[in-house]
Structure 1
């Protein structure tokens, strides 16, 4: 029996997709954006403070714009960025766990395939002695009981007739023990296959949650922000227009 490839056993599901490092990098970038938004809010409040002593109509109108437009927009931006940070962090954490579990499942599947190879060789040897010829696979494991045998090949049992008479019973016992282990391995492979599919579904669910969390609220789509080098370089955010 030719041994199947690991991907054939585990199925078409692909749980180990996506990089946690990229998600955590996004978290770090969003932290910078949040710092910019905080600095922008502080600048707007400082500007309003400098206008507080001037009661000209134009100044009052500008102050109102700062209060109702700039501060509101910055506040909403900060909330969106905070939610996005949490979403990326949760996604990165999930991807890390999924990849670790997927690696463990694949490693165990590889161990089980090696065990099947050993059992196949043993069954082939028993079958050759018992006159049984059949092909089994992890999908179609051997019967627990030794199938009806053809003429037993006595070449390896010597000339002791009593010993020779016991050969079929011995072969049946060896077949039974090996077939039981074969079935146990196949059952575990089925469990691994189901776990692999469950990991795939977890990964898809994590991606859907991330995508949902990153949807920009409708009112935010009406604002345009520009950013320069970021807080570490003395830059920041500016609300440039309302569209």
Structure 2
């Protein structure tokens, strides 16, 4: 088995809360400096920068998992991972249809910037991305699965999580792994929420600034592929996530 350092929750300048230095190439360079081998760009309700991010990852020999952080109508943040860009962009199209018909208030939320292959600001996404999509938690998980992807609830110990919004994880949901934030640890979370003891935890930087990028976990896989990654999230056949 291989141990691959991973940061699978990163925000670029496309996310309204992302710092203006968080361009795709700069994120890749900082991840490389940190010894991270697998990354995922998870902007809020959009994947407009993922193709360029993947391009720079390949140039720097980093593995890129196409991804997005979606917000359901319950205001729950969900990390959504896909096998390829095609599936991710189909998901983006679905999310865009479910977002409110409202333009971003740049003065309040900040700019939402799409970058080009030269890592320069290309254009601004006008639709409001800092909003909940008209999509239930169950619908979100089902649709991601239909597209060949896998979903992980974000930051259980913070706001906009499945715990902060519902207080529990509904029975019947196929969730084997959930994320905890970098500001806590597994023992603290389980002490506060003992009913989560059956879950495997992942931990990411959720970076909005370059200085925050860091690996908090390793993927234990035979060799990297999306199928192996899914097995790690499902804790199957010896594949798993190991917190550092």
Q: Judge same fold: TM > 0.5, yes or no.
A: no
Q: TM-score range by the shorter chain?
A: under 0.3
TM-score after normalising by structure 1: 0.20
Structure with the larger strand share: 2
Structure with the larger helix share: 1
Based on CA coordinates, which of the two structures has the bigger radius of gyration? 1
Name which structure has the greater RCO, CA cutoff 8 Å, separation 6+. Answer: 1
